[in-house]
Amino acid sequence: MPVHIETIRGHVPSTPGVYFFKGARGQILYIGKAGNLKTRIRSYFAASRDFGPAKERMLKEAVTLEWQELSSEIEALIEEARLIKKYRPRYNILMRDDKNYLYVGFTKERFPKVFLTHQPRQTLSREFKDKKATYIGPFTDATSVKRILKSLRKLFPYCTCKELHTRLCQNAQIGLCLGACCLNTAKPTYATVDTNAAHTLYKQHVASIQKILSGNQKTLIRMLTKKMETYSKDRAFEKAASIRNQLWGLEHIFAHSLYIKQEHSLENQKALRKLEQILRLTYPIARIEGYDISNIQGTDAVGSMVVCTDGVMDKNEYRKFRIKTVVGANDPAMMQEILMRRFNHPKWQYPEVILIDGGVSQLNAARWAQKKYLHQAVHNTNTWDTVAAIHIVSLAKREEELYLPGKIHPIALKHTSTTLLHLLQQIRDESHRFAIGFHRKLHRKLPLR
């Protein structure tokens, strides 16, 4: 929709999109993207604007302003990069700052690495300097690029390991890596992986990411839909379900951010109601705490506590623990120490549910800590009743099964409630991320032994 610059006030929509400043001959001078076109475009004509000389010169030359509405900020980001590469507007080039513009690189090897760089084809990081690569960009919003790659990696796992392992890496264990891409098959391994099958799937994942970042997500969605239907007809239901989840994830990535938050909140509320039903609670679940341990063969051990309040992760309530009493690699004992210390913090709001990462042994260790605390606090009726009412459950990674106290058989959530599974996975993965982040930070600060 072309509009003369003097007449734009009041006509710009409050939606995500890209915009174009054009000169007297219709040439594109500058392309930008916005989560809210109205707010962004009005900022160019505010009395208090503080632009650099190049952008001020562009505004003096511009005669016409056009925009294109899109469904999400991410779609606007990708479309902006595609259009800048296609038209190479004069002022996008003049105002380019290599510290801000970002490219996504893909190395040319059997299992391509995905990386970010400000200067493609020039000085790469030490890790990739000897490798050929292809690039997609330029992206003007580094934060958004990193966010979309993080989201896409959950749907299309790829490798970020710097060296090969003799066993599955941590990313593979939490579903962010296929495992075979960084597995040293020439040495004894603790895991059996079909390398050829993983290679085929890995190439498909990288191709999918490249399609999305190049603005071809609709082509990808059509391709995935067709593949899902084929798997379904062939009764390969597990593969069909995997692609269905990818399609669902893409739909949410490219939906409007406000809609995502509303949809996500509704889904999580449904998940909480389902968990209340499973635990046979007569009161609502307002708070779930997730716990995890991180250590290297028992050294520098730490633990994490993350909190989900009313279905939303509440980072202000997160807590970190340094293991003080356990020596050696004994994760169950470390979990017991953390929970004992947590129960002794009545100033922290107690949860209705505690989620542990693991199976029966991890669940039993957590329940032992609860029983020990109750035995010690038998005369403190205020905290005793509250801690006794906490339900402790565990989620095992391999089959994504939910273990409950006193139940012999776990609940296969992927068959009974994917909504609840997604919520518990989010809490478990966040506790894992938070623990690893704290461990790495602490490990860097400690002196070399």
In the chain, where are the structural domains located?
Answer: 3-94, 102-215, 274-443
From CA 172, how far away is CA 167, in angstroms rounded? Answer: 10
From CA 425, how far away is CA 402, in angstroms rounded? Answer: 11
The stretch 265-287 carries a mean pLDDT of 89
Half-sphere exposure of 136 (CA within 13 A, CB side): 22
Q: For all residues of the chain together, what is the average pLDDT?
A: 81
Q: Judge residue 328's burial from the number of C-beta atoms within 10 Å of its C-beta, 0-12 exposed, 13-18 middle, 19 or more buried.
A: exposed
Q: How many CB atoms are located within 10 Å of the residue 291 CB? A: 30
Degrees, nearest 5: CA angle 9-10-12:
90
Which residue from 287, 314, 290 is spatially nearest to 362, judged by alpha carbons? 290
From CA 364, how far away is CA 236, in angstroms rounded? Answer: 36
Model confidence over 386-407: pLDDT tens digits? 899 999 999 987 788 999 998 8
Contact at 8 Å (CB) between 146 and 412? Answer: no
pTM of the model: 0.48
Per DSSP, 284 falls in state -
Place of tokens 């250590």: 295
3-94 placed in CATH 3.40.1440.10: yes
Helix (H) or strand (E) holding 416, with range, is: helix 413-416
From CA 405, how far away is CA 368, in angstroms rounded? Answer: 11
Q: Backbone phi, then psi, for 349, in 5-degree steps?
A: -60, 130
Amino acid at 332: P
Residues 274-443, CATH architecture: 2-Layer Sandwich (3.30)
Model confidence over 97-142: pLDDT tens digits? 444 578 888 888 888 888 888 767 654 555 555 568 888 878 877 7
Per DSSP, 180 falls in state G
